[in-house]
Structure 1
């Protein structure tokens, strides 16, 4: 059983950078992708904290990008070969990653929550582009980091993310 989340992380990162593309050339594209990949990795590790969880999502499938495409207005007919990777997009992970990209404080809390997890047990992992982006990072990922643009995606599963970061928190309306 596959316990590696890399297909899910790669597909969800690709979806985010396609939905909220970088501004600039090749360097901007790389910076934007690095930020998205780090946010998606943190979100995926929070959502699937154990090897068993990762194995189960690999077996059952993460659900795909259909609803995300519809929400962002990208629900047109994909081109030839543009559908297979979309089945590996995880809506909850994309939503959580969007929330982390839009809110640096929430991103910090999420990375802290990973400190005692199974994914970071073997070696420390740094998420510098997510947590301490510089001006160049922010310019490259202006759409990817814009809270108003990310809101429709980030709000989809925001409450479960907050629950994961602070179990038993008081629910406010």
Structure 2
């Protein structure tokens, strides 16, 4: 059984950075990718707080990017001139988790919510023994914001963020604790 969320995290972060690419060169792309990966990591750890949860999603699969592609309008892109769509033959798209992408979108557009989410991870099984650093998510500097202008734009991410925002708010609400 796979108890590691890294394929899900990598695929979902890749989907976010393709749907909302960096503005600028290689450094901007790297900064955008780091922010997406941090947001997706926090969202995945909240969504799948135990090794059992992670193993179950590894067995069942997270669902894929089809609905997200449709919502963002990328389903019509399909392989033209350097652009890839859902039918581009990339198996990584099957590892995209719709809920995790939605929660990550919420975190990227709301720094206060991102701070609450990171705080909720303290003492959980994913952070045990290893300090996790999420500075670019919770306290982005000007370079981070410029590089990820599309990735952090509330209006652009709203269709994705609104999909499962209520579930994230429930998870972070008062009296909710992660199972360690």
TM-score when scaled to structure 2?
0.90
> Which residue matches 1:154?
161
Determine which of 115, 119, 140 is the counterpart of 1:133. Answer: 140
State whether structure 2 residue 122 is matched by structure 1 residue 115.
Answer: yes
Greater shift in the superposed pair: 80-89 or 60-69 = 80-89
Shift of the alpha carbon at 1:83? 3.3
Work out which of the residue numbers 107, 113, 131 in structure 2 matches 1:106: 113
Quick check: 138-147 or 81-90, which moved more? 81-90
In the other structure, the counterpart of 1:6 is 6
What are the Cα deviations for residues 119-148 of structure 1, in whole angstroms up to 9, with x where unaligned?
001211010110111101000000000001
- 4+ residue runs over 2 A deviation: 76-83
Measure how far apart 1:159 and its partner are: 0.4
* Cα distance in 2, alignment partners of residues 168 and 124 from structure 1: 24
Q: Distance in 2 between matches of 1:34 and 1:148?
A: 21
1:144 equivalent in alignment to 2:151:
yes
- CA distance, structure 1, for counterparts of residue 4 and residue 29 of structure 2: 25
Structure 2 match to 1:20: 20
Separation of aligned partners in 1, 2:39 and 2:57: 19
Q: How many pairs are equivalent?
A: 169
**Which residue of structure 2 aligns with residue 93 of structure 1?**
100
SS at match of 1:163: helix
Shift of 1:168: 6.2
Ranges in structure 2 where 5+ consecutive residues have no aligned partner: 80-86
TM-score by length of 1: 0.94
- For residue 68 of structure 1, what is the aligned residue in structure 2? 68
Quote the Cα distance in structure 1 between the aligned partners of 2:2 and 2:76.
32
Which sections of structure 1, spanning at least 5 residues, go unmatched? Answer: none
